[in-house]
Structure 1
């Protein structure tokens, strides 16, 4: 407090400075400052009291300790930073989850399928025509649907046409539709074709290699002009459709044989996607097995599981029917039999001994002892890796824990 220019002595000179400023300016002044030796953040406010002649007769100086408030503010800022960090992480996790869900049907860890998935990610964003090739059962329709789900047309219709399943005399009317009364037996209201039904969406022409030669020019026109003409119609109808085709045939060979138009082949083969057979990506088999096992356990209220010997057979089998054959086989193994654990013998019994016998045996390379050691090492190593402990491995293999430890040491298994 200052009175008539006389001041009380304070330990800090800051209030004095404020008072002098107030005396000079003749108005209230506030300053936020730090008292270093006390490590305090304070707000110093000086308020003048004036006489009738507007002279300062008194200055009231108030010091408010704001240290705790500033500490709280700093903590709040730290919390806000952490919050922003976690929100960013959550956003990224949601993005990752969304991306995983979009490609959840393409179960794989093989490099060959990784390349396919990367290609799918790129082409899904475009409207380019795609030709998916591969053996029967490799998942061509799954890939086509995944492309559709990840495209800008995902909210539009998705129409799948099996060109091999529709009789030749009906295929044209199914694809392109017809006007009323255009032929005997035609509906009096006419009919929309599948291309029109797929407008603003995607159409999958599955088994495109089976389409009759006489229909191929009309399909070529769709790809070139983006328009169709109904049977019995007189005008062209514009359509906005993305075309995906799929086949298990070699269309280049079909072109040479005269069964497929060369110009149509090139129109379809803008973006080729070739799916590898399951025998060429054996590392994916165990992933697919457990995916199908979970699916069918849930569907049939079961709790089945596979032992190591069963997985060995499934991984060694060539799977000529590819993923479809594998899926059907797992469903059969889940449905048939009451045993919780599916073993080698279960597979040979349920799926056929002749079919899987070769996959259940190995060619002996070297002496019998070397072959036995190799087999023991393989089984023991896989069991240890799958369960993570010698105790659990012993329980699964039906031997003592000390035997597991001794054999692992003898066979040079040090990590699992």
Structure 2
């Protein structure tokens, strides 16, 4: 009998050793897991935790192992900062039983409590999504009961999964989606603006300076008054002239464009006024109609009028005064009915002072002056023009390209010395070159050249260094605020405090975004 008892004791000892070894192995495995784990017995006493539990909750093993969870709750949790609250009143809607059939049932709780203690009471798995304040962690806590044959809880395994990074990523993704939706809305509005603001087919604008020009065009188109269009190269003088013609009572007549700078001086007179047969060596035996005669009952555009030779100016003056021309070698005057539009990128008043242009001719031409502003002075029009040209060249080349917001920003910040013509040529290149659907800031720098756009950010301005810095700072701050819509977000992007953003915005006169 003694031998039997000794064998039983030895067997039980081996069994206990095996259990302890398995428990030690289980804890070693638990320590290698990134989720926090703690185990409570049937009385709610914590029997073990892993390393991740302390890292996530900030509660050390000495403060919890061997103690009843209620005691831990009272002494460690509620009397700390708090260190660890598994269920908060505001989170109670997220607490639910997890049944095997997948159904959820809201757990009604009015005060913070421990998941392990709830599981002991309810004898069912419970999960909750909550926050550990002191550690600033968002976690998912799941308590799972282990039952004996009599359906009594003998142990509760609680797992704490740190979801902080996932929540941060989700918030960032939500912000990106919001920004994307905002940009798509802006782009949609831009495309809508193109249609709404397109009073005339080829004139697209929403700037106040161009609004005044368009209003003037609307008023003078129906008249036969002589018009002088001035502005820098590439601003669209010919587009304005053609628009005036299309909306005039002469729209069904001829429209003749003459580039006075492109025709050699010795041929310009014969091109403008024509010649009789045999009037000079090499002349056609049938003679030739001049461009003024060809424009009869229509409109003639004298482009680059500032380049017309001085010796031809009296003859042109006569055309404007008398509405008649005389061919080279001819003896009779020919009456014409022509509306004259002139265009130049020169300051004709200065040319008059220099003796390069007749004063009386200048006044004859300058009946209705239309001055077109350069693109750098109407930057709000750039985005509209960009999408107008994008649609035009996508259709022409069978492409479906689009711009992202970073691309629009760099295009809007460039000074465009070549004005609308340079912008149009640049958009055509961006559409033709490369197969990427989305045109980004990097695409623009690689296709159009980095130097061009870097120079735009360092262009010289009038004033002191402080004024230059203030102007640059105001531009950056204003664009960031408009993009973010919040001083807090702007501060984060710019790497400064929110109070600094508010102070600088006030000092720089930024009141709306």
TM-score, reference length from structure 2? 0.53
Q: CA deviation digits over 1:341-373, x for unaligned, max 9?
A: 111111111101111124468999999999999
> Is residue 308–residue 379 contact of structure 1 (8 Å, CA) maintained in 2?
no
Residue number in structure 1 paired with 2:6: none
Q: Secondary structure at the match of 1:151?
A: coil
> Is residue 33–residue 43 contact of structure 1 (8 Å, CA) maintained in 2?
yes
> Is residue 227–residue 366 contact of structure 2 (8 Å, CA) maintained in 1?
yes
Larger mean Cα displacement after TM superposition, 318-327 or 43-52 = 43-52
Change beyond 3 A, Cα 1:260–1:36: closer
Larger mean Cα displacement after TM superposition, 401-410 or 282-291 = 401-410
Cα separation, 2, equivalents of 1:390 and 1:60: 46
* Coordinate RMSD, CA, aligned: 20.4
Cα separation, 2, equivalents of 1:391 and 1:41: 22
> Is residue 478–residue 510 contact of structure 2 (8 Å, CA) maintained in 1?
yes
Change beyond 3 A, Cα 1:369–1:71: closer
Larger mean Cα displacement after TM superposition, 213-222 or 339-348 = 339-348
TM-score, reference length from structure 1? 0.65
Q: Secondary structure at the match of 2:112?
A: helix
Change beyond 3 A, Cα 1:15–1:204: same
Residue number in structure 2 paired with 1:181: 278
Cα separation, 1, equivalents of 2:490 and 2:178: 47
User: How far does residue 303 in structure 1 lie from its aligned partner after superposition?
Assistant: 1.1
Change beyond 3 A, Cα 1:181–1:22: farther
Cα separation, 1, equivalents of 2:126 and 2:496: 87
User: How far does residue 128 in structure 1 lie from its aligned partner after superposition?
Assistant: 0.4
Q: CA deviation digits over 1:252-301, x for unaligned, max 9?
A: 00001000000000000000000000000000000000100111111111
User: How far does residue 386 in structure 1 lie from its aligned partner after superposition?
Assistant: 9.5
Change beyond 3 A, Cα 1:24–1:234: farther
> Is residue 194–residue 388 contact of structure 2 (8 Å, CA) maintained in 1?
no
Residue number in structure 2 paired with 1:70: 167
Larger mean Cα displacement after TM superposition, 35-44 or 278-287 = 35-44
User: How far does residue 150 in structure 1 lie from its aligned partner after superposition?
Assistant: 0.6
Change beyond 3 A, Cα 1:271–1:187: same
Higher relative contact order (CA 8 A, sep 6+): 1
Larger mean Cα displacement after TM superposition, 343-352 or 231-240 = 343-352
> Is residue 191–residue 384 contact of structure 2 (8 Å, CA) maintained in 1?
no
Larger mean Cα displacement after TM superposition, 403-412 or 116-125 = 403-412
Tell whether 2:182 aligns with 1:85: yes
> Is residue 102–residue 146 contact of structure 1 (8 Å, CA) maintained in 2?
no
Q: Secondary structure at the match of 1:60?
A: strand
Change beyond 3 A, Cα 1:377–1:132: closer
Cα separation, 2, equivalents of 1:53 and 1:406: 69
Cα separation, 2, equivalents of 1:369 and 1:37: 45
Change beyond 3 A, Cα 1:42–1:380: closer
Q: CA deviation digits over 1:22-78, x for unaligned, max 9?
A: 999999999999999999999999999999999999999999999999999999999
User: How far does residue 308 in structure 1 lie from its aligned partner after superposition?
Assistant: 1.2
> Is residue 401–residue 438 contact of structure 2 (8 Å, CA) maintained in 1?
yes
Change beyond 3 A, Cα 1:24–1:214: farther
> Is residue 313–residue 359 contact of structure 1 (8 Å, CA) maintained in 2?
no
> Is residue 99–residue 125 contact of structure 2 (8 Å, CA) maintained in 1?
no
> Is residue 163–residue 210 contact of structure 1 (8 Å, CA) maintained in 2?
yes
In the alignment, which of 336, 352, 359 is matched to residue 239 of structure 1? 336
Change beyond 3 A, Cα 1:194–1:99: farther
Larger mean Cα displacement after TM superposition, 28-37 or 341-350 = 28-37
Larger mean Cα displacement after TM superposition, 2-11 or 182-191 = 2-11
> Is residue 4–residue 57 contact of structure 1 (8 Å, CA) maintained in 2?
no
Larger mean Cα displacement after TM superposition, 132-141 or 96-105 = 96-105
In the alignment, which of 8, 11, 25 is matched to residue 108 of structure 2? 11
> Is residue 274–residue 291 contact of structure 2 (8 Å, CA) maintained in 1?
yes
Cα separation, 2, equivalents of 1:308 and 1:69: 27
> Is residue 401–residue 431 contact of structure 2 (8 Å, CA) maintained in 1?
yes
User: How far does residue 103 in structure 1 lie from its aligned partner after superposition?
Assistant: 0.7
Larger mean Cα displacement after TM superposition, 83-92 or 207-216 = 83-92
User: How far does residue 180 in structure 1 lie from its aligned partner after superposition?
Assistant: 0.4
Change beyond 3 A, Cα 1:45–1:173: farther
> Is residue 15–residue 44 contact of structure 1 (8 Å, CA) maintained in 2?
no
User: How far does residue 139 in structure 1 lie from its aligned partner after superposition?
Assistant: 0.1
> Is residue 3–residue 59 contact of structure 1 (8 Å, CA) maintained in 2?
no
Change beyond 3 A, Cα 1:219–1:30: farther
Q: Secondary structure at the match of 2:261?
A: coil
Change beyond 3 A, Cα 1:67–1:229: farther
Larger mean Cα displacement after TM superposition, 11-20 or 74-83 = 11-20
Change beyond 3 A, Cα 1:216–1:372: closer
In the alignment, which of 286, 309, 312 is matched to residue 383 of structure 2? 286
Residue number in structure 2 paired with 1:276: 373
> Is residue 2–residue 19 contact of structure 1 (8 Å, CA) maintained in 2?
no
